[in-house]
Amino acid sequence: MQRERVVIIGSGPAGLTAAIYTARAQLSTVVITGKLLGGQISTTHEVENFPGFPDGTTGPELVENMKQQAERFGAKFVYDSVTSVDFTKGSPFLIKTDGEDYLADAVIVTIGANPRKLNIPGEAEYTGRGVSYCATCDGFFFRGKDIIVVGGGDSALQEGIFLTKFGRSVNIVHRRDELRASAALQSRALANPKISFTWDTVVEAVKGNENGVVQAVTLRNLKTQEVYDKPVDGVFVFIGYDPNSAVFGDQLAMDSTGYVTIDHLHATSVDGVFAAGEIHDSTFRQAITAAGDGCKAALSAINWLGVREPILQKLDAEEPVTAAN
Ligand code: NAP
């Protein structure tokens, strides 16, 4: 089994930044990437608000640059997912993946969050056949098509605007008559001639055709209770995210919605386990806030290891020598 000074679970901006810091501090660092290197940001096409890129950048480019920067200092990347952890016995912590097990003196959890589902008939059946949670991944398949976007937050509007590069029309279906998204995104969306809005409305079902691809959605107007079918080719769902904390079971303290709770040093309830990014942050959810979090968690882990080791060495030296027999 490999033993590392630091194992980072997750490879979004939080994990990649943490890896830059711990590897640069000369601590052997392994990043267990999860299914998708870079996490959610790698599915975001335009990143216009990450400092240092006056002309903007793309999610995949940002991720690749951060990864290379971490590798330059010696961080190793394992393209695998964590299947279980044992944080109950303290450091070193056991981390199991599909491929290999790791022991880590310190752990930084940056496992992020996943897109929330509508949980309506047809959604799972037509995922990948017209239903999508990633405009960057799937927008290209909807060139010249009619798309609906579900949600009224920043994600729905940002990705909806992006989808107008491909679709003939983008209709944003929102359950209220007021958007949650920022004023800047609202003005851009409202000014975009390809974007229209359906207010006070929820999607109740996704329907397919004889070829097994989406052809319509069933909508319900919550004010009038009118139910009707609307022909569409693509359904993009952006209704928020859920934290990926299930793998930790009850080993880390969490809030009622599954977000890991941390103190101001990014320490979790387990001594030696730190957390950063969307696994604890349901509010800001920005690449830059995740990166800042990753930096803070890494500095705390570096400090924790640095304080702990002289104590362990002293305890080792003081251990009474016992007779061989
Ligand atoms: P969000 O802000 O939580 O918005 C989710 C949207 O989906 C809301 O409009 C909500 O409606 C709607 N919704 C939730 N559950 C629904 C359901 N079951 N059926 C229909 N509609 C449902 O999520 P987000 O847009 O992903 O943004 C999350 C965070 O990331 C925010 O802090 C945001 O600022 C940030 N973010 C920022 C940027 C950027 O700055 N460029 C881009 C993306 C995300 P209600 O409004 O009625 O609750």
Residue nearest to ligand 1 atom 2, measured at CA? 153
Answer yes or no: pTM beyond 0.85. Answer: no
Instruction: Decide if 187 is inside a domain.
Output: yes
Q: Are 58 and 98 in the same domain?
A: yes
**Mean pLDDT computed over 261-280:** 98
Q: Are 107 and 137 in the same domain?
A: no
Instruction: Decide if 292 is inside a domain.
Output: yes
pLDDT tens sequence across 221-240:
999 999 999 999 999 999 99
Q: Are 196 and 300 in the same domain?
A: no
Instruction: Decide if 312 is inside a domain.
Output: yes
Q: Are 232 and 246 in the same domain?
A: no
Identify the CATH number of the domain in which residue 177 sits.
3.50.50.60
Give the model's pLDDT for residue 267: 98
Instruction: Decide if 120 is inside a domain.
Output: no
Picking from 205, 237, 269, the residue at the C-terminal end of a domain is: 237
Q: Are 53 and 67 in the same domain?
A: yes
Q: Are 188 and 161 in the same domain?
A: yes
Picking from 218, 237, 256, the residue at the C-terminal end of a domain is: 237
Q: Are 190 and 247 in the same domain?
A: no
Picking from 237, 270, 292, the residue at the C-terminal end of a domain is: 237
Closest atom of ligand 1 to 182 CA is 34
Q: The domain containing residue 287 runs over which residues?
A: 2-115+241-318
User: What's the chain's average pLDDT?
Assistant: 94
pLDDT tens sequence across 46-63:
788 899 999 999 999 999
CA of residue 150 to ligand 1 center, whole Å: 10
Instruction: Decide if 324 is inside a domain.
Output: no
CA of residue 256 to ligand 1 center, whole Å: 19
Q: Are 210 and 286 in the same domain?
A: no
Residue 290 buriedness (CB in 10 A; 0-12 / 13-18 / 19+): buried
The yes-or-no verdict on residue 323 having pLDDT over 60 is: no
CA of residue 171 to ligand 1 center, whole Å: 16
Q: Candidates 200, 239, 283: which one to mutate for ligand 1, based on the most atoms within 8 Å of Cβ?
A: 239
Q: Are 97 and 171 in the same domain?
A: no
Q: Candidates 136, 180, 203, 206: which one to mutate for ligand 1, based on the most atoms within 8 Å of Cβ?
A: 180
Q: Determine what percent of the chain is predicted with pLDDT higher than 90.
A: 86
Q: Are 98 and 18 in the same domain?
A: yes
Instruction: Decide if 36 is inside a domain.
Output: yes
CA of residue 115 to ligand 1 center, whole Å: 10
**Mean pLDDT computed over 108-116:** 95
Instruction: Decide if 325 is inside a domain.
Output: no
The yes-or-no verdict on residue 325 having pLDDT over 50 is: no
* Residue 308: band (very low, low, confident or very high) from pLDDT cuts 50, 70, 90: confident
Greater pLDDT, 283 or 251: 251
Q: Are 216 and 249 in the same domain?
A: no
Pocket of ligand 1 (CB under 6 A): 118, 150-156, 158, 175-176, 180, 202, 238-241, 283, 285
Instruction: Decide if 125 is inside a domain.
Output: no
Identify whether the C-beta of residue 149 lies closer than 8 Å to the C-beta of residue 238.
yes
State how many domains the chain has: 2
Q: Are 216 and 258 in the same domain?
A: no
